[in-house]
């Protein structure tokens, strides 16, 4: 039986807040991630894993 694709693909975890800022506000965002997908694919990344994205006061 063939192994599932994810068992032999290269994963890349992204922390969206610091990955890529598309609008210049200093905070990474989904459009910033989308703008880098071609580059990640060229590197051989098979899938990305996004760290949680939710509103936070960042006061910890």
Q: Give the integer Cα–Cα distance in Å for 32 and 20.
A: 5
- What b-and-e string marks burial along 26-49, b requiring 16 or more CB atoms within 10 Å of the CB? eebbeebbeeeeeebeeeebeeee
Please check the confidence at residue 59 and state whether its pLDDT lies above 90: no
Query: What is the residue extent of each domain of the chain?
Result: 18-53
Phi-psi region of 32 (alpha: psi -120 to 50; beta: other; left: phi over 0): alpha
pLDDT given for residue 21 in this prediction: 96
pLDDT given for residue 23 in this prediction: 96
Write the pLDDT tens digit of every residue in 18-52: 999 999 999 999 999 999 999 999 999 999 999 98
pTM for this structure? 0.79
pLDDT given for residue 60 in this prediction: 73
Q: Give the integer Cα–Cα distance in Å for 22 and 20.
A: 6
Of 52, 55, 56, 58, nearest in space to 15 by CA: 52
């Amino acid at each position: 039986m063939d192994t599932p694709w994810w068992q032999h693909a290269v994963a890349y975890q992204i922390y969206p807040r610091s990955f890529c800022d598309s609008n210049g506000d200093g905070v990474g965002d989904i459009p910033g991630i989308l703008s880098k997908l071609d580059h990640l694919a060229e590197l051989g990344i098979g899938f990305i894993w996004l760290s949680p994205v939710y509103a936070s006061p960042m006061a910890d």
